[in-house]
Structure 1
Amino acid sequence: MVSSTPPSSHATVGKPDRSPIWVQILVLLALLTLELLLSLVMGRISWNETDVLPLARHFADPTWVAEDWYLNQPAGYRFLFQVIFGNMAAAWGFLATSIVGRFSCYSLFATGIVLLGRKLGLTTPFLLLAISLFLYGGCRELFVNCGSQQGAIANEWMVGGLEAKALAYSVFPLAIWLLLEGQYYGMALLMGLMTSLHVLVGGWVFLATIGWLLLNRKFSSEKPWHWGVIGLIYLGASLFAIQPVLNQLTSPAVTGVIQPSAIYVFLRLPHHLNPLSWASERWIRPIVLLILFTMSVTLIRRTQKADRQLGTLTSEQDASIGLAQFTLMALVPFVLGLIIAPVDTQGQLLQYYPFRLGDVMLPLSTGLLLSSVLQRSFTGQTQKIVLILCIVLLSVVFSTRTVNFFNQAVALREFPGKTQDIDATRRDFYTWIRNNTPTDAQIISPPVKWIDFTWLTERATIAKFKFLPQTKLGIINWYERLGDLGGIGSTWATIQPTQDNREEIEDQLTEGYNRLTTDQVIALMDKYQATYFATVRKHRLDLPIAHRNSDYVLYAKPTGM
């Protein structure tokens, strides 16, 4: 039965978990691997590997697709990521690099989560329950592409594909564990490393940590030099982030028909950055999470108060409250972002991702704290029933994910294929281009679709809607190039602060590209020094045909022009 009094911290389900730490890590790593390792590798949706891995390879080998405009963008905050994975991508290919990189991130993440779970006193079944809630709590359909839906509302994720933020988040649980352990110097080192890997992930985490330390009476009473040492360690470890930050803050303003920050926030990334455009039904999940989070913290505090009176207070309770306090600090920029959104009409502040950390911290900590409460809230026969239910649920998860993992592995035998949204006809079309056009050829390709064009043809192209540069000038050039490709000039999109109209923009660009006339295509070839124009076969132009198949055609620039 459920206890009518605040549960004792010593009332746990079954016997204390004596599993070796390496066993817990392996079990959690198995869950992450089955769910995420082969999910949409170099795919069109969810992850960004088609963006960041070609950039990394070009960074390591500038002769690879040397003429491509986007691949020649500055490394910026991705510098360390490109150093680590660029040569790997050049030597092993994108598939192997993605799998090895993902598995490395999952291993670090699982290690940190296990240490954090042990700090909270979670047994293995309830730790797995917590992470399952984190991974699957945002599912709109049962176990259908759920692993990427980790955030509360702003589409953020911690663990999944391979990119700079995935590396940064992989050490995040370790940093929080060190924070709760009071190992502040090690914590500062890891948070600095996170910032070097991804300046906004590490930066927001460190700011939340400063708030947490200020609230912590034990630390705030320490000598001032402790703050200085922590700051120096953090700055030293975040060395690779300093130059990108300075470049962003000191780069001159770019004049144009639209501000780069407005393009970034309202045109390209409103699903991450513009809360005014988020559909009303999307707010159900964060509201439910807040309710569960509040209930969990309230019950933990009641237990903490009762055990303090009995003299049985445990470190697990203090750690749970510490995690809750850090979550509240992570939600501060989230709330501030909601406040400034109606007045930040150019996205000058929203472009710095104020919702990022809180969006994933709320689901993660809610899962951990709720599992902790469930573990301690049942007595007698109910304990066994709860444990059995957890085991049954986890068995279903592991079984379904094992079958899915096997199917994904089989599908990768045809990499790239359907998982990457590539059919045989387009793959053959790409192969012909790679084998029969000059390596330095500039090829005009659709502005929205075919995001795999560059890495599969190994030929330069003009621009893609998905691939947004990170500099002010680069963003303006991206905007102008897409306008040219869509045949709609330099004012092809208007800011709509209360709408996420990416689909309409993509349709507009695609339809405009497919309506380009022969004269417009020749003008584009002249402007961008292109020698070929790739399109669907039904797009008929009065130009020489270099190659065509049943679905696609490659037009060549007329000789003598």
Structure 2
Amino acid sequence: MPDDDESASETIATAEPLTEGPRASWWPAVEVIAVVALFFIYAADAPPMVNEAHYLVKAKNFWQPDWCANDLFTASGKAHTTFYFAFGWPTLFVSLEATAWIGRFVGWTLIAIGLYRLTTALIPLQFATLGVAVAWIAAIEYGNLAGEWVIGGIEAKVPAYGFVLAALAELVYRRWNRVWILLGIASAFHVLSGGWSVVAAAIAWLFCERLRAREDRKAFFTPALFLGGAIALIGVLPALWLTMDGGAVDSVRVARIYTFYRLPHHLLPSNFQFHWYVRHAVLLIAAITLAWITRRPIHAETRDHEGWNRFRAFAIGAILIAVFGLFLGGLKAYAPDLAAKLLRYYWFRLSDAVVALWFALLLLRCVALRRESKAIWISGVAGLAVCLVLVGISSFERMRLAVPPSASNATLGWDVNASPAKQQQVFEDWLKVCDWVRLATDRDEVFLTPRHQQSFKWYAERAEVVNWKDVPQDSKSLDQWYTRFREIYPERLSTIRVTIHYQSLLDYRKKYGVNYIIVDRRITGQHMPLVRVYPLAEHENKTYAVYELPYAMP
């Protein structure tokens, strides 16, 4: 890492954003609004998004504890209390759908403001933020390693990333005190997204400050660092408590369930598909190449050079975290229990987001170099055009499908090649059966639900025995979730359907207080040896049916 230039660092520490030409006071608002509009075009799917049905039902229960109170997931320990507190209160007044839209616009605006601050600190080009946003979206979607995303529905990591971006802008300006406080707020919203950012920022400090002369070095241990840590405890303590509140639950068993059974596609390197490594390597190589060809300061100045060095150091920190995670992945063959415990912490989450962001910023830096190098400018414009096409394709495909992402067959892993028209019909039938449940059953009823769904509580507002998506965070509930899932969706049925073994259904009624089972008739067939309560006419719902569980004979 090259040494910082002392005089340059003094300039950038107080400099205004690097932009060409005068700007009206309202111009930043225009640029932020344009970025939010881009996010809307890309991610304006009908709620719930993939994780919204997971986060917002939990947030609703946080503010209304009697809502789905007998659901294992909803009533389990609350890991993201800051998010639930800040974004869940609208559920007291409006629907979950309206809450999702409110949360999306707040979260997107936080990200847009942070991205504007960071971009204008590095790139002297009007509306560069919009180009960075396009490239960032494309790079994450088509270049991630472990399935990370940033622009989508509202969940805890979205506001966290907004504050991470704001912290990165301050890092560029060498305002370390503000960095630690903003990252503390990010950690309060999402412990891992914010916490890994703190580690990467500490690595950046080591690269960029440790080798400076003592009299010019910015201190690491400052009151602001401890203040940021204190703020982070708002999010850290609830999450830590959930991992410790397992009682007699075997912590190794719980870690293996979480890492190896439920979330290996995010956590376990050996579970990643080969082409994921290829696409991420291509993105990383592209970012490194762009960093090399743009290594000279823009317009032969030095004041932006130090900021780029600091951001690059942060990106290297994120990459080093991911590399260490890859090494931990190799432990599974030798120490699987230790690997399960350590790999729970999403080692690849930050690098997925930051490598893509580094690439996006460098791509726009190439566009800003028009006067210095036509070849570099052309490469930047071409790269940006490719990213725009990729984002356009993704947006069109989601609009064409016309069902919420949480209801798409690709997400649910069932009949993934079904046409949009067929998926829309199935979704309409899903809404019908959920409406019937909400209107025709008591609020405290518990249901057995189809394996390939994740939005029953969102639409029906009733508890369910177990749901694949809704995995609890506390050790005791997670262990119960695993036991229930293996029992309700047995391996002998390929875990794709609820067993209808008569004695098992009697046991479920006694054990879980469940009176009804909802079935996907595409899987179970049109008729079952149980009393059907919905639909009473076949044409009312061709996809889903509700049956009453049998009673034990006196």
Instruction: Please give the range of the TM-score, normalised by the shorter of the 2 chains.
Output: 0.7 to 0.9
Q: Structure 2: which amino acid aligns with 1:327? A: A
Whether the aligned pair in 2 keeps the contact of 1:486 and 1:509 (CA below 8 Å) is yes
Identity %: 23
- Worse overlay, 364-373 or 382-391: 382-391
Partner of 2:164: 172
In the TM superposition, what whole-angstrom CA distance separates every residue of 1:352-400 from its partner, at most 9, and x where no partner exists? Answer: 1111111211111111123213432655877997898689779878988
Alpha-carbon separation, structure 2, partners of 1:397 and 1:510: 34
One-letter code of the match for 2:130?
Answer: L
1:435 aligns with 2:421: no
Q: How does 1:311-330 map to 2 (within 5 A)?
A: 312-330=300-318
The unaligned stretches of length 5 or more in structure 1 are: 1-14, 139-148, 493-506
The answer to whether the 8 A contact 1:193-1:237 is kept is yes
Report what 2:202 is aligned to: 210
In the alignment, which residue of structure 1 is the partner of 2:368? 375
CA shift for structure 1 position 53: 0.7
- In 1, distance between residues paired with 2:428 and 2:288? 52
Structure 1 residues 508 and 192 mapped into 2: Cα distance closer, same or farther (>3 Å)?
same
Between 244-253 and 96-105, the greater mean CA deviation after superposition: 244-253
Kept after mapping to 2: 8 A contact 1:443/1:533: yes
Contact kept, 8 Å, 1:134 with 1:150, in 2: the verdict is: no
1:463-510: CA deviation from partner (whole Å, max 9, x where unpaired): 11111111111111111001111245xxx8xxxxxxxxxxxxxx8211
Tell me how far apart the structure 2 counterparts of residues 29 and 427 of structure 1 sit (CA, whole Å): 30
Amino acid at match of 2:170: L
Q: Secondary structure at the match of 2:464?
A: coil
1:508 aligns with 2:501: no
Report the AA paired with residue 136 of structure 1: A
Residue 461 (structure 1) aligned with residue 464 (structure 2): yes
Which amino acid in 2 is paired with 1:315? R
State the distance in 1 between where 2:395 and 2:249 align.
Answer: 53
Secondary structure of 1:297's counterpart equals helix
Does 1:25 pair with 2:32? yes
Does 2:462 align with 1:474? no
DSSP-derived class of the 1:545 partner: strand
Map of 1:51-130 to 2, 5 A cutoff? 51-76=54-79, 78-124=80-126, 126-130=128-132
In the alignment, structure 1 residue 553 sits paired with structure 2 residue 545 = yes
Alignment match of 1:185 (pick from 177, 180, 202): 177
Does structure 1 retain, via aligned residues, the 8 Å contact 2:438–2:461? yes
- Residue 278 of structure 1: aligned partner: 272
Amino acid at match of 2:192: L
Residue 348 of structure 1: SS of its match in structure 2?
A: helix
Relative to structure 2, which stretch is displaced further, 120-129 or 290-299? 120-129
Q: Does 1:337 align with 2:340?
A: no
Match 2:343 to one of 350, 361, 374: 350
Q: Deviations over 1:189-229 (max 9, x none)?
A: 21111111011111111111111112223597568976131
Q: Is the 8 A contact 1:289 1:363 kept in 2?
A: yes
Structure-2 change in CA distance of 1:184 and 1:451 (3 Å): same
Deviation at 1:244, TM superposition (A): 2.3
Correspondence for 1:42 among 43, 48, 51 = 48
Which of 530, 538, 544 is 2:514 aligned to? 530
Q: 1:380 to 1:341 in 2, by over 3 A?
A: closer
Structure 1 residues 405 and 553: CA distance shift in structure 2, 3 A: closer
CA-to-aligned-CA distance 1:42-91 (integer Å, 9 cap, x gap): 04xxx300111111111111122222221101112x10111122221232
Alignment pair present for 1:236 and 2:242: no
How far off its partner does 1:151 sit?
A: 5.6
The code of the aligned residue for 2:446 comes to: Q
Q: Is the 8 A contact 2:259 2:344 kept in 1?
A: yes
Aligned-partner SS, 1:481: helix
2:530 counterpart residue number: 543
Following superposition, the deviation at residue 285 of structure 1 comes to 1.6
Alpha-carbon distance change, 481 to 399 in structure 1, aligned in 2, over 3 angstroms: closer
- The answer to whether the Cα contact below 8 Å between 1:518 and 1:543 also exists between their aligned partners in 2 is no
1:117-173 Cα offsets, whole Å, 9 max, x none, are 1111241354433322221235xxxxxxxxxx2662111122221001111112221
Aligned to 2:293: 299
Alignment deviations for residues 301-322 of structure 1 (CA, whole Å, 9 cap, x no partner): 3x25x99xxxx53221221121
Q: For residues 427 and 300 of structure 1, do their structure 2 counterparts lie closer, same or farther at Cα, with a shift above 3 Å needed?
A: closer
TM-score (norm 1): 0.80
Give, in whole Å, the separation in 2 of the partners of 1:219 and 1:350.
Answer: 38
C-alpha distance in 1 between matches for 2:485 and 2:312 = 45
Are 1:190 and 1:237, in contact at CA under 8 Å, matched by a contact in 2? no
**Compared with structure 1, are the counterparts of its residues 420 and 380 closer, same or farther at alpha carbon in structure 2 (3 Å cutoff)?**
same
Could you say what secondary structure the match of 1:477 adopts?
helix
CA contact (8 A) 1:484 1:524 kept: no
**Does structure 1 retain, via aligned residues, the 8 Å contact 2:325–2:343?**
yes
Q: Is the 8 A contact 2:108 2:158 kept in 1?
A: no
Q: Tell me how far apart the structure 1 counterparts of residues 225 and 425 of structure 2 sit (CA, whole Å).
A: 46
Distance 2:531 2:395 in 1: 51
Structure 1 position 258, deviation (Å) = 7.1
Task: Assess if the C-alpha contact under 8 Å between 1:57 and 1:87 holds in 2.
Answer: yes
**What letter is aligned with 1:264?**
Y
User: In structure 2, what residue type is equivalent to 1:120?
Assistant: L
| Cα 1:435/1:134, change in 2 over 3 Å | same
What is the letter of the counterpart of residue 39 of structure 2?
L
Residue 542 to residue 380, structure 1, CA distance change in 2 (3 Å): closer
Could you tell me whether the CA contact under 8 Å between 2:137 and 2:151 is conserved in 1?
A: no
Q: For the Cα contact (< 8 Å) 2:124–2:368, is it kept in 1?
A: yes
Between the aligned partners of 1:124 and 1:224, the Cα distance in structure 2 is 31
Partner of 2:331: helix, strand, or coil?
A: coil
Aligned equivalent of 1:359: 352
Determine the C-alpha separation between the residues in 2 that align with 1:478 and 1:257: 14
Q: Please state whether the residue corresponding to 1:467 is helix, strand or coil.
A: coil
How far the C-alpha of 1:423 sits from its partner, in A, is: 2.7
Cα gap change, 1:197/1:399 in structure 2, threshold over 3 Å: closer, same or farther?
closer
| 21-30 vs 335-344, which moves further | 21-30
Structural RMSD (CA): 3.4
- Structure 2: any 5+ residue segments left out of the alignment? 1-18, 409-419
Distance 1:434 1:249, change over 3 A: closer
TM-score, normalized by length of structure 2?
0.81
15-24 vs 385-394, which moves further: 385-394
Secondary structure of the corresponding residue to residue 155 of structure 1: coil
Counterpart CA distance in 1 for 2:457 and 2:474 is 21
- Which residue number corresponds to residue 137 of structure 1? 139
Which residue number corresponds to residue 4 of structure 2? Answer: none
Give secondary structure in 1 for the equivalent of 2:533.
Answer: strand
Task: Determine if contact 1:429/1:552 at 8 Å carries over to the other structure.
Answer: yes
Q: 2 CA distance for matches of 1:395 and 1:444?
A: 44
CA–CA distance in 1 between the matches of 2:349 and 2:403?
Answer: 33
DSSP-derived class of the 2:310 partner: helix
